[in-house]
Chains A and B, each alone.
Chain A
Amino acid sequence: MRPYELSLAGAARAIGTRELSPVELTDSVLERIEATEGHLGAYVAVFAESVRQAADRAERDIAAGRYLGPLHGVPMGLKDLIDAAGVPTTASSRVRRHHTAAEDSTVARRLREAGALLLGKTHTHEFAYGLTTPQTRNAWAADRVAGGSSGGSAVAVAAGGATFALGTDTGGSIRVPSSLNGVVGLKPTYGLVSRHGVTPLSWSLDHVGPITRTVQDAGLVLAALAGHDPNDATSLNTPGAAFAAGHGPYGADDASGAGGGAGHTREDLRGLRVGVPRNYYFERVDPEVEAAVRASIDHLAALGARLVDIDIPMAAYVQAVQWGHMVPEATAYHEKTLRTSPELYGPDVRLLLEAGELLPAGDYLRAQRARTLMRREWERLFEEVDVVAAPTVPSTAALSDRPTVTWPDGTEESVSDSYVRLSAPANITGMPSLSLPVGHDGVGLPIGMQLIGRPLGEATLLRTGGAYEATRGEVTRLAPVTV
């Protein structure tokens, strides 16, 4: 196995035992980027010189006994909404063409302090306001969408162009591209990971989280990211937050991957109640996606989980509540630039931002009040179950030139709307959601399953996904990028 093919946990083990040096790993990943980037377009910028220097420093520090943990010496990418001191945060937009970040975002700082090495900034759909990331190609099929908005991060991880990456998620933007590219994406509980220094799309829906090759890796990155940040007014400061990220299976105290939790072995899911939706999540879903996800849910049952049929509350209002928050909040953030230089936005993003100016405050407030009800109903749902299992997106990656999907019942839906449809509830409720690969369709495109948990239920999601991963092993396969 070449170093760029290693998972984060695998690389950490090899670095920790001195079988692999950070320089060897970084050089391997940079060579992989060199070979694939012209084909994929995952990166806005690659900092080859500075990351090699950082790898050299990491190698010397580790040799001197100053090992910082599993992220030390591991190269990663940041979605280009996330500030890293001294380099531009372009948001993949001409609006930001002269921007340079004065300081690290909190997440960039925490990764740096954990020893991770910044490879480069990855493409986003412009200002994260879209689900396709048109600059970037799907890692599994060049004529398919990468998904978005964290398309560059997901494609880089899927192709071996980063050992892990960060994304942001407002309506599915970590989980959607992760699903479409066959990698793992974790949208944490709202407030668990700081958003200080991260360009917002919609303040009340935005989350930052890891995109990785394995569930175990997602836990390792989350452990480095999570924790209270006084610079973020929405940052949680509760003991539960520390528990969710720092303990239990695959948390900070489990870099070896040997943990079990509550006395269980890693593959034992006895006692876990998995909610299987009777409505919403399996409606207007591609039959191959449904079959793969239902088979995966059956596999969780075979590991000891108890399946519980559930009804998703207020399903008819998901899109309304999502749009009712996202559209006015996005427009509010861009208000000034929209006045001074609207021509710098791409046509699709400008259209949405300007349309947002026409929405009355009453609509926004109604959406907020509906959100209160929806959150209460979902909290009640989690009295019956520990995890909800469902498809991440209703279909695999769409052809790039096909903007709509037609369902068997004759209804037509935009590809972007269909991608958000199943992801948005976790943004509205703020509940954590983990997407993991569970198979491929007939033409070899990845299929993802999401596990939604109660607030601060990350450890349960990681345990459940980890048990699946340990016994099915779908997730370690890199995309077969043809170069």
Chain B
Amino acid sequence: MTTAEAPEVPEAAEAAEPGQSHDEEQARREAVVATAGHIRNVIGVLHALDLDETPPAATYSAAAAGTAVAGETVRIEEEEQAHATV
């Protein structure tokens, strides 16, 4: 499926509301489809990536390693020692 194809409009977007004219509802639905198309075009650039065997980041954790701060502290201390010996 390409990003240019318009997907089916689901139930929520199809339901006309009381007090809303057919034209207004039609215009709203067209706006929803156009917005979805725009979003899909933006996301579509990801097709250019070679994802190979890359898994999804579904169970996401930013800090799996958990060693970030300590690393910098060690390096700063090393630099301080270097300053001290100059």
Residues of A within 8 A of B (CB): 189-192, 204, 234, 236, 238-241, 243-244, 248, 261-264, 270-272, 316-317, 319-321, 323-324, 327, 338-339, 342-343, 351-352, 354-360, 363, 365-373, 375, 379, 382, 386, 429-431, 453-460
Q: How far is the CA of A459 from the CA of B62 in the complex (A)?
A: 16
Known: A354-B32, A368-B57, A455-B62. 6 other contacts (CB 8 A): A240-B68, A270-B79, A319-B42, A320-B43, A355-B32, A369-B51
Identify the closest chain A residue to B78 (Cβ).
Answer: A271
Query: Cβ of A191 and Cβ of B63 under 8 Å apart?
Result: yes
Quote the shortest CB–CB distance from B60 to chain A (angstroms). 5
Residues of B bordering A, CB below 8 Å: 1, 7-13, 15, 17, 28, 31-33, 35-36, 39-40, 42-47, 49, 51, 54-58, 60-70, 72-73, 75-77, 79-80, 83
Complex alpha-carbon distance, A386 and B70, angstroms: 11
Q: A352-B35, A359-B40 are in contact. Are A368 and B68 (CB under 8 A)?
A: no
A192 to B45 alpha-carbon distance, docked (Å): 31
Residues of B within 8 A of A366 (CB): 43, 46-47, 49, 51
Cβ distance B58 to chain A, nearest Cβ, rounded Å: 6
In the complex, the answer to whether B57 meets A358 with C-beta atoms within 8 Å is no
Asked whether A262 lies within 8 Å of B65 as measured between CB atoms, the reply is: no
Asked if B36 and A262 make an inter-chain contact with CB atoms under 8 angstroms apart, the answer reads no
A240 and B39 contact, CB distance less than 8 A: no
By a CB distance below 8 angstroms, the chain B residues around A369 are 51, 54-57
Q: A167: shortest Cβ distance to chain B, in Å?
A: 19
Question: Contact: B69 with A243, CB < 8 Å?
Answer: yes
Q: Given the known inter-chain contacts A243-B70, A367-B43, A456-B69, please indicate yes or no for A354 contacting B12, CB distance below 8 A.
A: yes
Contact of A189 among B9, B36, B57, B62 (CB under 8 A): B62
Distance of A219 from chain B, by nearest CB (Å): 14
Assess whether A240 is in contact with B83, with CB atoms less than 8 Å apart. Answer: no
Q: How far is the CB of B56 from chain A (nearest CB, A)?
A: 3
Judge whether A358 and B80 touch: CB under 8 Å.
no
Q: Judging by beta carbons under 8 Å apart, are B39 and A262 in contact?
A: no
**Is B55 in contact with A190, judged by CB distance below 8 angstroms?**
no
* B contact residues around A204 at 8 Å (CB): 57, 60
Known: A272-B76, A358-B32. A373 touches B49 (CB 8 A): yes
Closest 9 CB pairs of A and B: A430-B62, A368-B56, A358-B36, A455-B63, A240-B66, A271-B76, A190-B62, A454-B68, A355-B36
A11 CA to B83 CA, complexed, in Å: 38
Q: Taking CB as reference atom, which chain A residue is nearest B7?
A: A358
Residues of B within 8 A of A357 (CB): 10, 12-13, 36
Given A262-B76, A359-B40, A363-B43, answer yes or no on A317-B49 (Cβ-Cβ < 8 Å).
yes
In the assembled complex, the CB of A214 is this many whole angstroms from the nearest CB of chain B, namely 21
Q: What CA separation (Å) do A248 and B44 show in the bound complex?
A: 43
Let me know if B39 and A430 touch, CB within 8 A.
no
In the assembled complex, the Cα of A278 lies from the Cα of B39 at a distance in Å of 28
Least Cβ–Cβ distance between B8 and chain A, in angstroms: 8
Complex formed: what's the CA distance from A459 to B71 in Å?
12
Closest to B18 in A: A343
Q: Closest Cβ of chain B: how far from A275's Cβ, in Å?
A: 13
Show 8 A/B contacts (Cβ-Cβ < 8 Å), sorted by A: A320-B46, A343-B17, A354-B13, A355-B36, A366-B47, A368-B56, A455-B66, A456-B69
Q: Are B46 and A321 in contact (CB under 8 A)?
A: yes
The answer to whether B72 touches A355 (Cβ under 8 A) is no
Inside 8 A of B56's CB, which chain A residues have their CB? 365, 368-369, 371-372
Partner of B72, one of A263, A321, A386, A431: A386
Task: Give the complex CA separation of A208 and B44 in angstroms.
Answer: 30
Residues of B within 8 A of A375 (CB): 57, 62
Q: Are B10 and A239 in contact (CB under 8 A)?
A: no
Of B68, B76, B80, which contacts A455 at CB under 8 A?
Answer: B68
Complex CA–CA separation, A243 to B15 (angstroms):
52
A176–B20 alpha-carbon span in the complex (Å): 36
* Contact among A262, A319, A352 with B77 in the assembled complex (CB-CB below 8 Å): A262
Report A-chain residues with C-beta under 8 Å of the C-beta of B11: 339
Q: How far is the CA of A351 from the CA of B13 in the complex (A)?
A: 9
- Residues of A within 8 Å of B62, CB to CB, are 189-191, 375, 429-431, 455
